[in-house]
Amino acid sequence: MRKEKWLGIVYPPPHPDPLPMGEGEMQCDAPLLNIIRIGRFMIQITYFVHGTTIDNQKEISSGWNDVDLSELGVEQSIKLKEQITDKNFDVVFCSDLKRAYESARLTFEDSLDIVQDKRLRECNYGKYNAKPSAIVEPMQEKMIYDRFPDGESYEDVKIRMSDFLDFLREKFDGKNIAIVAHKAPQLALDVLLKNKNWEQAFADDWRKAKSWKPGWEYEI
C-alpha cells in the first residue's frame, strides 16, 4: 500500500496570487493556504539494541570502547531471532562497534545483508569511554550540548543520525529497515522522529524502567 508523507503547510503563501500547480503540489479552496505534498513511500524502521556486553556486566559505560558481547549477550541475540519471526526486513544496518555487529550477525546473518555504519555508534564519551557507569551515566544528560572531554555531545549524535536518515530517504525509500545499535542513537531517533526534546527522551528512556522489548518502531 502506498503511503504519503505530508511535508508541511505554508501559510501565508510566499506570493499574493495563487501559485501554479506543479508536480507534487496541491492547493485547497481556502484562501492563502497552500499545502505542499511530496508523494513517497514510508520507510519503516525497527530499532534493536545490542546484547549485553562484558562491560555491561561490570557496570562500565563503553562508549567507543570496542567491547565483546558476554555469553548472555550471545544468548539474547540468538533468542531475538525467534522473537521477531513475524517481521520482515529488506536490510539490516548496525553500528561498526563489534558488540552491535555481533548482535546483528547472530540474529540476522542467515537471512539478510548486514551493513555496518559508523554513524550508528554509541556516543563517544572521550576520556570517559570504558569508565564506571556510576560516573558516566549522571553526566550524560548534562552533555546534550556540551561535549564529553575529547568526545561528543548528544547533539553531535543527533547530527550524524540526521545524516543517516537522509541517506535512508535517498536510497531506501519504501523499505523495511532493521537497525542494531546503542542507547544514544536511539535517543536521537526519539528526538528526530518522535517530536521529543532531549530532556523528554532521557526521561522516557526504557532503560530507566528496564522495559526492554524486541524492537522499537519508527517511520520516516
What 3-state class would DSSP assign to 88?
Answer: coil
**pLDDT tens figures, 56-86:** 999 999 999 999 999 999 999 999 999 999 9
Query: Which residues are CB-neighbours of 37 under 8 A, at least 6 positions away?
Result: 4, 6, 7, 24, 25, 26
Q: Indicate the average pLDDT of the chain.
A: 86
The overall pTM is greater than 0.75:
yes
Task: Tally Cβ neighbours within 10 Å of residue 8.
Answer: 9
Query: Which residues are CB-neighbours of 141 under 8 A, at least 6 positions away?
Result: 198, 199, 202
Average pLDDT over residues 110-122: 95
Query: Which residues are CB-neighbours of 70 under 8 A, at least 6 positions away?
Result: 51, 52, 53, 54, 56, 57
pLDDT at residue number 8: 34
102 burial level (CB within 10 Å; 0-12, 13-18, 19+)? buried
Average pLDDT over residues 35-39: 41
Task: Tally Cβ neighbours within 10 Å of residue 212.
Answer: 10
**pLDDT tens figures, 40-50:** 689 999 999 99
Residue where the block lists cell 552491535: 100
pLDDT at residue number 77: 98
Query: Which residues are CB-neighbours of 151 under 8 A, at least 6 positions away?
Result: 63, 64, 123, 124, 125, 126, 127, 128, 129
What distance lies between CA 154 and its chain's CA centroid?
A: 13
Q: Label residue 32 by pLDDT band (50, 70, 90).
A: very low
Q: Label residue 26 by pLDDT band (50, 70, 90).
A: very low
pLDDT at residue number 156: 98
Least confident of 22-31, 72-81, 122-131: 22-31
pLDDT at residue number 25: 40
Q: Is the pLDDT of residue 104 over 70?
A: yes
pLDDT at residue number 110: 83
Alpha-helical (H) ranges within 43-153 are: 54-57, 71-83, 98-108, 133-140
Least confident of 10-19, 47-56, 57-66: 10-19
What backbone phi and psi angles, to 5 degrees, belong to 53? -110, 170
Task: Tally Cβ neighbours within 10 Å of residue 73.
Answer: 22
pLDDT at residue number 16: 39
What distance lies between CA 91 and its chain's CA centroid?
A: 15
Domain boundaries, the chain: 5-38, 44-219
Rg of the chain over Cα atoms, rounded to whole angstroms, equals 20
Q: What is the DSSP letter of 10?
A: E
Average pLDDT over residues 110-139: 96
**pLDDT tens figures, 159-195:** 999 999 999 999 999 999 999 999 999 999 999 999 9
Q: Could you tell me which CATH number the domain at 44-219 has?
A: 3.40.50.1240
pLDDT at residue number 109: 87
